[in-house]
């Protein structure tokens, strides 16, 4: 090791605490904005990638951001009011594929997405194990959710009640896990997918129970009128759909009025998209949005806020540089005799300056190394961090 570097290294080793403080200051000043920049960059890329792969989203009139975030990332609540009949009418336009989505509920903490098989083909989702949900009560689990919940094909998941204190609410429905999706690096990894009708059953819009007429215990039937049978609470309602009871599950009312969160619309070409947008421009209840435009608008807000943080970081960096300069200046003053001694012992003044510059160099190298490690860690944790940001 050369003389100046040897002296500098010994100096920073001897003054460990001071060195650690300076390294921490410089690392934070350099590393934090770098990490934030990387995270925001990746976050926006993820948001935009999902938006780019989704041509149009239909939903009830209301917040367009809520609608797009719900339809693309299964986060937050979609504007209420969209019905299954609206998806049917979009299909009847024959201007593209209309994929219904209903993600109001969760299953053991993961978003439970009611949809059709078209969704898996549209997103290019494939199972890593098992198969897609084919039957009422089946579900397929995203890769990350399966890992977190520790489930695999043949296992089961329970839907979460909306409100545990609501005794009149729907009971948790036991879902049969038929497959686990291969990782896709998208919000699909964290979701549980089931048939739309399964989710309606979880909501209590459909149900299965023992045959009131043939199998009910004596006294269960309270009254019969106009072809309807009214039973008391002793009637057994099923909380799991099995081969044995699947036939007993049914819905009351008009399915066209059943709720949806959103509909993904995939027109075959730009003309069809333009026609659809034109038709829904002034629709009374339904709005049709282009996710790319909405996410760009949302990111515009995020980046506007980020500019404040950038300015803040710049000011902090300036202040840190000022403190660093002051520290160096004070240190140089305090060490004037040391410099003079080295000179008297025959050291070149340039070598003395080099030794002191090397101390700063070591601090910067350590800081930049730590910042690079932090950035590397950020890259390694990017997927969960981005998922967390999207949650």
Applying CB under 8 A, among 221, 235, 347, 370 the residue interacting with other proteins is 347
Applying CB under 8 A, among 160, 351, 360, 385 the residue interacting with other proteins is 351
Contact status: 10 vs other proteins (CB under 8 A): yes
Contact status: 15 vs other proteins (CB under 8 A): yes
Q: Is the dihedral of CA 49, 54, 55, 61 positive or negative?
A: negative
Dist CA 76 CA 172 (whole Å): 21
Select the span of 145-153, 228-236, 313-321, 343-351 touching other proteins (CB under 8 A): 343-351
Contact status: 223 vs other proteins (CB under 8 A): no
Nearer to other proteins, 10 or 283 (CB): 10
Applying CB under 8 A, among 13, 20, 21, 325 the residue interacting with other proteins is 13
Applying CB under 8 A, among 7, 30, 56, 132 the residue interacting with other proteins is 7
Q: What is the 3-state secondary structure (H, E, C) of the chain?
A: CCHHHHHHHHHHHHCHHHHHHHHHHHHHHHHHHHHHHHHHHHHHHHHHHHHHCCCEEEEECCCHHHHHHHHHHCCCCCCCCCEHHHHHHHHHCCCCEEEEEEEEEEECCEEEEEECHHHHHHHCCCEEEECCCCCCCEEEECHHHHHHHCCCCCCEEEECCCCCCCCCCCCCCEEEEEEEECCCCCHHHHCEEEEHHHHHHHHCCEECECCCCCCCCCCCEEEEECCEEEECCCCCECCECCCCCHHHCEECCCHHHCECCEEEEECCCHHHHHHHHHHCCCCCCEEEECHHHHHHHHHHHHHHHHHHHHHHHHHHHHHHHHHHHHHHHHHHHHCHHHHHHHHHCCCCHHHHHHHHHHHHHHHHHHHHHHHHHHHHHHHHCHHHHHHHHHC
Contact status: 282 vs other proteins (CB under 8 A): no
Nearer to other proteins, 15 or 387 (CB): 15
Nearer to other proteins, 329 or 343 (CB): 343
> Minimum distance from CB of 2 to other proteins (Å)?
9
Nearer to other proteins, 338 or 382 (CB): 338
Contact status: 310 vs other proteins (CB under 8 A): no
Contact status: 19 vs other proteins (CB under 8 A): no
> Minimum distance from CB of 337 to other proteins (Å)?
7
Check: CB of residue 284 under 8 Å from CB of residue 62.
no
> Minimum distance from CB of 367 to other proteins (Å)?
20
What radius of gyration do the chain's Cα atoms show? 31
Hey, what are 174's tokens?
């036991």
Select the span of 121-129, 186-194, 231-239, 337-345 touching other proteins (CB under 8 A): 337-345
Select the span of 7-15, 33-41, 206-214, 226-234 touching other proteins (CB under 8 A): 7-15
Applying CB under 8 A, among 178, 337, 363, 365 the residue interacting with other proteins is 337
Select the span of 23-31, 131-139, 220-228, 345-353 touching other proteins (CB under 8 A): 345-353
Check: CB of residue 47 under 8 Å from CB of residue 299.
yes
Contact status: 312 vs other proteins (CB under 8 A): no
> Minimum distance from CB of 369 to other proteins (Å)?
22
Contact status: 307 vs other proteins (CB under 8 A): no
Contact status: 219 vs other proteins (CB under 8 A): no
Contact status: 339 vs other proteins (CB under 8 A): no
Applying CB under 8 A, among 95, 342, 363, 374 the residue interacting with other proteins is 342
Check: CB of residue 175 under 8 Å from CB of residue 159.
yes
Q: Given the rule CB under 8 A, which residues bind other proteins?
A: 3, 6-7, 10-11, 13-15, 337-338, 341-348, 351-352
């Amino acid at each position: 090791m050369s003389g100046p570097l040897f002296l500098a290294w010994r100096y920073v080793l001897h003054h460990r605490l001071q060195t650690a403080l300076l390294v921490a200051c410089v690392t934070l000043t350099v590393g934090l904005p770098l990490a934030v920049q990387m995270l925001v960059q990746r976050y926006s890329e993820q948001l935009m990638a999902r938006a780019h792969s989704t041509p149009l989203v239909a939903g009830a009139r209301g917040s367009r951001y809520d609608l797009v975030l719900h339809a693309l990332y299964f986060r937050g609540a979609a504007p209420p009011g969209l019905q299954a009949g609206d998806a049917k009418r979009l299909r009847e336009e024959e201007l593209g594929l209309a994929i219904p989505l209903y993600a109001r509920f969760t299953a053991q903490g993961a978003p439970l997405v009611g949809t059709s098989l078209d969704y898996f083909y549209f997103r290019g989702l494939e199972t890593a194990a098992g198969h897609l949900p084919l039957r009422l009560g089946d579900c397929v689990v995203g890769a990350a959710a399966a890992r977190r919940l520790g489930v695999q094909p043949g296992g089961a998941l329970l839907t979460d009640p909306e409100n545990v204190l609501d005794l009149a609410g729907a009971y948790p429905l036991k879902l049969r896990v038929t497959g686990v999706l291969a990782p896709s690096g998208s919000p699909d990894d964290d979701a549980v997918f089931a048939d739309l009708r399964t989710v309606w059953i979880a909501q209590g819009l459909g149900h299965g129970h023992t045959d009131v007429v043939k199998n009910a215990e004596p006294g269960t039937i309270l009254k019969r009128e106009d072809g309807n049978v009214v039973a008391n609470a002793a009637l057994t309602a099923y909380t799991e759909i099995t081969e044995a009871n699947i036939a007993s599950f049914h819905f009351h009312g008009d399915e066209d009025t059943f709720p949806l969160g959103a509909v993904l619309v995939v027109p075959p070409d730009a003309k069809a998209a333009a026609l659809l947008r034109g038709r829904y421009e002034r629709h009374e209840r339904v709005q049709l949005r282009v996710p790319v435009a909405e996410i760009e608008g949302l990111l515009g807000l995020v980046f506007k806020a980020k500019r404040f943080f950038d300015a803040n970081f710049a000011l902090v960096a300036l202040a840190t540089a000022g403190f660093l300069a002051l520290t160096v200046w004070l240190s140089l003053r305090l060490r004037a005799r040391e410099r003079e001694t080295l000179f008297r012992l025959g050291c070149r003044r340039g070598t003395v300056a080099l030794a002191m510059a090397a101390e700063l160099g070591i601090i910067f190298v350590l800081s930049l190394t730590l910042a690079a490690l932090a950035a590397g860690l950020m890259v390694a944790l990017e997927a969960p961090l981005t998922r967390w940001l999207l949650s």
